[in-house]
């Protein structure tokens, strides 16, 4: 089940975030998105009552952005990341966004394969985007109701 994230989910969400990312959001970052950022929406994926992943989006005017997408390593390779990606895209389509944008490490082959599979294209390379090792990021986009 995918459902809106609550403050009660933050310990599990933050544990997944720290597990997977060298440069990760703080628990306060998630709190801000949940309670103060009017453009943000966060969702969790539950399996047997356990939060195993999450996806964050922002919707500003006609532009959607995927801010986070993560599945705990114990649950990877089972289609949950794809399920959450499609959930986020469908939500943004219903909300009349014209395009979806995201950033991804150039070395994240699994994520890139997923995004290419679902029609995302590389718009540009953001040099030294990640602060932990100054790795580049691809800015990717997918038209969902307009043009990019």
Q: What tens digit of pLDDT does each residue of 130-146 get?
A: 988 999 999 999 999 87
Record the pTM: 0.94
**67, two tokens:** 């801010």
- State how far Cα 130 lies from the chain centre: 16
Q: Is 99 helix (H, G, I), strand (E, B) or coil?
A: strand
Helical spans, DSSP H, in the chain: 10-20, 27-35, 80-94, 109-117
Q: What is the pLDDT of residue 146?
A: 75
Which residue from 134, 107, 137, 110 is spatially nearest to 124, judged by alpha carbons?
Answer: 137
Q: In whole angstroms, give the CA distance from residue 8 to residue 140.
A: 31
**96, two tokens:** 């009349």
Could you give the residue numbers annotated as active site?
103, 115
**What is the average pLDDT score of the chain?**
96
Q: What is the pLDDT of residue 78?
A: 97
User: Residue 94 contacts by C-beta under 8 Å, 6 or more apart in sequence?
Assistant: none
Residue pLDDT, tens place only, 36-62: 999 999 999 999 999 999 999 999 999
Answer yes or no: are the C-beta atoms of 53 and 84 closer than 8 Å.
yes
């Amino acid at each position: 089940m995918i459902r809106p994230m609550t403050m009660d989910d933050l310990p599990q969400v933050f544990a997944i975030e720290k597990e997977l990312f060298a440069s990760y959001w703080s628990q306060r970052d998630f709190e801000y998105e949940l309670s103060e950022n009017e453009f943000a929406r966060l969702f969790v994926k539950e399996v047997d009552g356990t939060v195993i992943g999450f996806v964050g989006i922002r919707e500003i005017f006609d532009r959607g952005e995927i801010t986070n997408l993560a599945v705990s390593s114990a649950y990877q390779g089972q289609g949950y990341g794809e399920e959450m990606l499609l959930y986020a895209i469908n939500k943004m389509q219903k909300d009349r966004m014209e395009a979806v944008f995201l950033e991804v490490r150039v070395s994240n082959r699994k994520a890139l394969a997923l995004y290419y599979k679902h029609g995302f294209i590389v718009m540009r390379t953001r040099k030294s985007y990640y602060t932990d090792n100054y790795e580049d990021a691809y800015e990717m986009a997918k038209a969902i109701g307009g043009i990019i």
